[in-house]
A and B are shown apart, each in its own frame.
Chain A
Amino acid sequence: MIVAERKPMEEILRLVDGAKSILVAGCGGCVTVHMAGGEKEVEVLASLLRMHYKMQDKPVEILTQTVTRQCEPEYVRELAENVAKADVVLSMGCGVGVQFIAEHFPQAWVVPALNTKFAGATLEAGVWAERCGLCGECILYKTGGICPVIRCSKSLLNGPCGGSQNGKCEVNPDIDCAWQLIFDRMKNLGKLELLLEIEPPKDWSKARDGGPRKVIREDVRL
């Protein structure tokens, strides 16, 4: 899922400054799962905003609405009524949601309440970690299911650098060295010799480096 984190209140208040009516828009997708921008988080943020404006003695209207997903036109359109009432739409969706709302309501001023961070998974309740680099050409079959593109801080494709120590990355002792993990896994699976092949330079044009990407399925188009 896409994992995001709420911006500091100070920043959010700056982004909505001057508005007389704010729509706090939640998303029932990924941000609900990792508790960053779902219905409950919308309630909390709305409460904090109301408190702020009360203390400032400013009459600002706070509207709230959470849709199933902010990355789907049918659901985003459900926001229409509230979007029309609001001076600013404070989206608690990921970067995709913020943009999609803006795309569908060109007259609306849409700002993000969250900083979108990565595509990742839940390690345990309350801990989410990055896993996929969205490189466009998956090579997980070469490395036992551990991604060197995103889990190695240097995206090395042929083994660890000299900074790998005790299974940790030189950049941060909390980060496992991806190549240590790959090596251990491949050894356990008895496929170590696959790592001896030289992996040629990656085609980064399939990743974001090639420009914004699109996927089209002609068989599904109406």
Chain B
Amino acid sequence: MKAGSNLEKVLTSGQFAVCGEMGPPQSADGKVIKKKAEYFRGFVDAVNLTDNQTAIVRLSSIASAHLLLEAGVEPVMQMTCRDRNRIAIQSDILGASALGIKNILAISGDHQKFGNHPQAKNVYDLDSIQLVQILKNMRDLKKFQNGEEMKVEPRLFIGAAANPFADPFEFRVLRLAKKIKAGADFIQTQGVFDIPRFKRWMEMVRDMGLHEQAYILAGIIPVRSVKALEYMKSEVAGMSVPDELIERMRKAAKPQEEGVKIAVELIQQIREIEGVRGVHIMPVMWEQVIPQLVEQAGLLPRPRFEETPEAAPVQEAAKA
């Protein structure tokens, strides 16, 4: 076991993993995290906490991850390269580990121009691949980026992101190979809507044997309106959304139900693809959908291991 996290246990035991995601609040209100934890407890194996996603200032991912841990749900702490240099990043890695956080996902981070502080200086002292390498060397070699040794190393399960739909298409798998070579244990992809294209990517992944070197989890974004889907198609870089899905949402009498249906279908199709070891569900501002989505997709019950904290009784998801 590299970190002994719940996510790691699920994946190493050969079971299909389910991750969730939560965006921390744009305020100092930590109670929001504890409240939202209830939608995930018992329904997913771990929950990603985003790191100032889209460059909008939010409660930090390290603090959010800790709050989530306190609430009895396992976090995946996301770390971007946009806001911190290698000193702060390594410091936060030590801090995260000291707080009991075991899963860290290393990503480049959206450019600050998208966020609410576009005039900020961007850091990008490191890129995501270098960050993965730093995480690995801290864990396995007990060494900082400068080569110095540390007494107690962080025990981490290292994640990285992959986008099967961004350009250059040919290079995407090579970049994935680089991330895995750098030390990524698990990979979470961008939201999948275009199954044929995703299948092509997975074929290239399997050709290189990468699916056996790291656990690949496919991203799922449940939508509740046709607008959300259209927005993703036109405004979000690196997404491929087939028109049929947009048509389905547009024609749906009950868009929310249709959105869940589509997500369930995507999950089922993805489960059949060789090499995919789990899904990463990103319910943007719709955390309430997790319980029914996970259940309808036939992903319950979630595996339990001895040391995982006792899950609280399953609660009816409160409507927003």
Q: Find out whether the CB atom of B161 lies under 8 angstroms from the CB atom of A155.
A: no
Chain A residue nearest to B85 (CB atoms) is A204
Q: Find out whether the CB atom of B166 lies under 8 angstroms from the CB atom of A160.
A: yes
Instruction: Tell whether B117 is near chain A: CB-to-CB under 8 Å.
Output: no
Interface string of A178-210 (1 = CB under 8 A from B): 011001100000001001101111101000000
Instruction: Tell whether B252 is near chain A: CB-to-CB under 8 Å.
Output: no
Stretch at the interface among A5-13, A57-65, A89-97, A166-174: A166-174
Instruction: Tell whether A177 is near chain B: CB-to-CB under 8 Å.
Output: yes
Interface string of B183-207 (1 = CB under 8 A from A): 0000000100000000000000000
Instruction: Tell whether A31 is near chain B: CB-to-CB under 8 Å.
Output: no
Chain B hits for A154, CB < 8 A: 81-82, 108-109, 111, 122, 124, 127
Chain B hits for A106, CB < 8 A: none
Q: Find out whether the CB atom of B125 lies under 8 angstroms from the CB atom of A159.
A: no
Stretch at the interface among B38-46, B168-176, B282-290: B168-176
The residue that B237 contacts in the complex, of A155, A156, A162, A179, with Cβ under 8 A, is: A162
Chain B residue nearest to A170 (CB atoms) is B237
The residue that A198 contacts in the complex, of B129, B170, B171, with Cβ under 8 A, is: B129
The residue that A162 contacts in the complex, of B86, B170, B178, B238, with Cβ under 8 A, is: B238
Q: Find out whether the CB atom of A201 lies under 8 angstroms from the CB atom of B125.
A: yes
Chain B hits for A170, CB < 8 A: 110-111, 114, 237-238
Interface string of B213-229 (1 = CB under 8 A from A): 00000000000000000
Q: Find out whether the CB atom of A204 lies under 8 angstroms from the CB atom of B168.
A: no
Which A residues have a C-beta under 8 Å from some C-beta of B? 153-167, 170-172, 177, 179-180, 183-184, 192, 195-196, 198-202, 204
Instruction: Tell whether B182 is near chain A: CB-to-CB under 8 Å.
Output: yes
The residue that B111 contacts in the complex, of A153, A167, A179, with Cβ under 8 A, is: A153
Task: Determine how close the nearest CB of chain A comes to the CB of B5; give it in whole angstroms.
Answer: 24
Count the B residues whose beta carbon is within 8 Å of the partner chain — how many? 36
Chain A hits for B124, CB < 8 A: 154-156
Q: Find out whether the CB atom of B237 lies under 8 angstroms from the CB atom of A160.
A: no
Chain B hits for A164, CB < 8 A: 166-168, 237-238
Chain A hits for B174, CB < 8 A: 159, 192, 195-196
Instruction: Tell whether B163 is near chain A: CB-to-CB under 8 Å.
Output: yes
Q: Find out whether the CB atom of A158 lies under 8 angstroms from the CB atom of B238.
A: no
The residue that A159 contacts in the complex, of B82, B86, B122, B171, with Cβ under 8 A, is: B171
Task: Determine how close the nearest CB of chain A comes to the CB of B209; give it in whole angstroms.
Answer: 15
Chain A residue nearest to B130 (CB atoms) is A201
